[in-house]
Amino acid sequence: MKTYQTDQIKNIVLLGNSGSGKTILGEAMLFNGGIVERRGTIEGKNTASDYRPIEHENGNSIFSTVLYTEYQNKKINILDTPGLDDFSGGVISSLFAADCAVLLINVQNGVEVGTEIHFRHAEKVHKPMIIAINGLDHEKANFEKSVEMMKERLSNNIILVQYPVNEGVGFNSIIDVLRMKMLYYSKDGGKAEILDIPADQKDKAEELHNALVEKAAESDEALMEVFFANNTLNENEIRKGIAKGILTRGMFPVSCISAKYNIGTDVLMDFIANEAPSITDMPEPKNNKGNEVKPNPAGPTSVYIFKSSIEEHIGEINYFRVYSGKITENLDVINSNNGTKERLSQLYVCAGKNRTRVPELHTGDIGAFVKLKNTKMDHTLNAPGNDWKFEGVKFPAPKYRTAIKAQSESDDEKLGEALNKMHLEDPTVIIEYSKELKQIIVHGQGEYHLNIMKWHLDNIYKIPTNYNPPKIPYRETITKPAQADYRHKKQSGGAGQFGEVHMIVEPYEEGSTEMTTMKMAGKDLKLSVRGKDEIELDWGGKLIYCNCIVGGSIDARFMPAILKGIMEKMEVGPLTGSYARDIRVYVYDGKMHPVDSNEISFRLAGRNAFSQAFKKANPKILEPVYEVEIMVPSDRMGDVISDLQGRRGMVLGMSSEKRFEVIKARVPLAEMNKYSTALSSITGGRAMYTMKFSEYAPVSSDVQEAVIKAYTEEEEEE
């Protein structure tokens, strides 16, 4: 394979709803470039892209796949992505590595749920886009309706570069309104025969050509002047305007294809090779120091790993993009994320599972490393002397969670290793080993996402597992002051144990002042704080520990032991065994023995005094509350709000944003279980949402009773 220079490289990402034909289009592009000798099919389970067992079983893409083809003395790197939103991690990382998106529209269905979602993902990162309407050979093809839906649901900047002459069964002709020619294909597809436009199509073609000329002129002031002077633009001027319009997202040019029959693919590839932006056209990415990284082929070597995977018989593969300089085999680089040295002993370009070894790759190109020791996804490799990192891919927050447990305890270690490997391949799978909940919690993008993960555990890793409802990380606190004292006394021959602690507890709020008196048995007890520890708790909130001892009733050396005992009970609240938080403790009196008092005595006395005081202080359960933002079609907004209210949610506000209604609400985590599935059902899959932790808030009395009852029953079962 020849070595391509920076100006010969184009990087595209294929987007679209599941079933829109991304994988088959990729197959046709590889075939046209001579990378594969025959085109594979989904039914034949022999495509370059969907080569993994789970993709063969399900018949759709689960992971993103790196492909490449060669066309017109240029290299086109192709990133094929999953169509289902549960696997959005592959979409987002591929968008990061590509310079232009090609959005596929299934002409039978027009703009589908996945189409809108992928369009929004590209919009969020300002990625230029070309649109290809696919499946024009289908008997239910409706080109005009698809275009109408695109303008309504995606953008007013949709502009036709082509339209079909005879959509439906027998489709073989396209009018190219850029070149003002008809493209005719034989039954084998492939390369078009270029003909004059038939008389019955000339008026329509002329009208669309004029619209394209005006749109191209709008993208550049110099072209606008030419247009006003000549009332038209020539083909080169139109192409220049289209290229600029694509780059600024001021134009989304639409092509016509039948990927299945390889019709229109050659013209689309020509369009990508000539009009799609390359790395030198795009905004320069920033590093962690806030500096822009220039795509300089003669600059210092810098590459970013945008994807990692584990392949049978090979091990870990890291897919990268060169952002500066060039890389060669046996080049020594520094991993800026961990400071380790790596030698790039083997470089590959990939067409799915087929890898071709190459001696070097230049700025803008995409390739793969194998056998790197300390490098993985989201790492930056630099030539020695550069210590900065790329800001990198920003993955969406998880939306779905479940607890997982191996059916056999002997598989626990294997399960941990397998889960870590899955996170490496898909960073949107997040593994949480919760000591608090005594569960392994797996977070993902949806129920189907985690079901696919379980398929891998069952079939690839051979680890039988169960999914269980995840526990809620409740917190406990107190709502009023209370007092308790406890004497620990133990005598069993020889030295005994003795410690007595008197304490007061009260709720703590940020900025509140310490108590100075408390009424006990009708008398005022004065408190004088002589020492204070302010402890930031790992699980949130604070413990304020006040030493109010006067007269030496407890020796200062025993105060840390009392605090240790209190902390032990803070980790196991009396209501549900959850962590306690936001409490101020005053140790104001006690007794000790000159011989029998020791640290363990005061630790136990402090622990039990705190437990008794906590129970008297009207303890309250706090639950995690999340801020939820939902983008929903306006016709489904009422149903979504009703559902939120049924989940104890509080709607904070509503607004409109780019053809969608945005609902902002606060919802308890306990009510968000399987919400992604429910929301998809309510809205026909057209809504998207994000959620992030807001605060811990008290639960109502009926919820508290239910939570305590469930905890008690669980404890009795154990």
**Would you place residue 128 in the very low, low, confident or very high pLDDT band (cuts 50, 70, 90)?**
very high
Strands 542-547 and 583-591: parallel
The answer to whether residue 265 scores a pLDDT higher than 90 is yes
What pTM does this model have?
0.88
324 alpha-carbon distance from chain centroid: 26
pLDDT at 552: 87
CA dist 715 → 245, 578, 711 (Å): 64, 13, 6
Among 271, 274, 265, CA closest to 192: 265
For the segment 547-569, the average pLDDT, to the nearest whole number, is 94
pLDDT at 718: 62
Mention every residue, 6+ apart, whose C-beta is less than 8 A from residue 178: 161, 162, 209, 212, 235, 238, 239, 242
C-beta of residue 51 within 8 angstroms of C-beta of residue 40: no
For the segment 363-385, the average pLDDT, to the nearest whole number, is 94
Strands (DSSP E) found in 72-209: 74-80, 100-106, 129-134, 158-160, 162-164, 173-176, 181-184, 193-195
For the segment 25-54, the average pLDDT, to the nearest whole number, is 94
Q: Which CATH architecture has domain 400-471?
A: 2-Layer Sandwich (3.30)
Percent of the chain scored above 90 by pLDDT? 83
Portions of the chain given CATH number 3.30.70.240: 622-713
Q: What 8-state DSSP symbol labels residue 634?
A: G
Portions of the chain given CATH number 3.30.230.10: 476-618
In the CATH hierarchy, which fold is given to the domain comprising 476-618? Ribosomal Protein S5; domain 2 (3.30.230)
Q: What 8-state DSSP symbol labels residue 136?
A: T
Residues linked to residue 667 through DSSP beta bridges, in sequence order: 626
For the segment 605-627, the average pLDDT, to the nearest whole number, is 95
192-220 per-position pLDDT tens digit: 999 999 999 999 999 999 999 999 999 98
**Which residues in 383-419 are b (16+ Cβ under 10 Å) and which e?**
beebebbbbbbebeebbbbbbbebeeeebeeebeebb
Portions of the chain given CATH number 3.30.70.870: 400-471
For the segment 641-651, the average pLDDT, to the nearest whole number, is 95
pLDDT at 457: 95
Portions of the chain given CATH number 2.40.30.10: 302-382
Q: Is 449 helix (H, G, I), strand (E, B) or coil?
A: helix
- Hey, what CATH class is 622-713 in? alpha beta
Percent of the chain scored above 70 by pLDDT? 99
| The two three-digit tokens of residue 536, written as one number | 């930031």
- Hey, what CATH class is 302-382 in? mainly beta
Strands 74-80 and 129-134: unpaired
146-194 per-position pLDDT tens digit: 999 999 989 999 999 999 999 999 999 999 999 999 999 998 899 999 9
Among 96, 43, 33, 123, CA closest to 69: 33
566-588 per-position pLDDT tens digit: 999 999 988 898 999 999 999 99
Residue 182: half-sphere exposure toward Cβ, Cα within 13 Å: 16
**Which residues in 695-712 are b (16+ Cβ under 10 Å) and which e?**
ebeebeeeebeebeeebe
pLDDT at 271: 96
Q: What is the 3 state secondary structure string of 188-236?
A: CCCCCEEECCCHHHHHHHHHHHHHHHHHHHHCCHHHHHHHHHHCCCCHH
pLDDT at 494: 67
C-beta of residue 21 within 8 angstroms of C-beta of residue 259: yes
Mean pLDDT for all residues in the chain? 93
pLDDT at 444: 94
- Hey, what CATH class is 6-197+250-275 in? alpha beta
699-708 per-position pLDDT tens digit: 999 999 999 9
Q: What is the 3 state secondary structure string of 472-491?
A: CCCEEECCCCEEEEEEEEEC
484-530 per-position pLDDT tens digit: 999 999 877 667 899 999 999 999 999 899 988 888 777 888 899 99
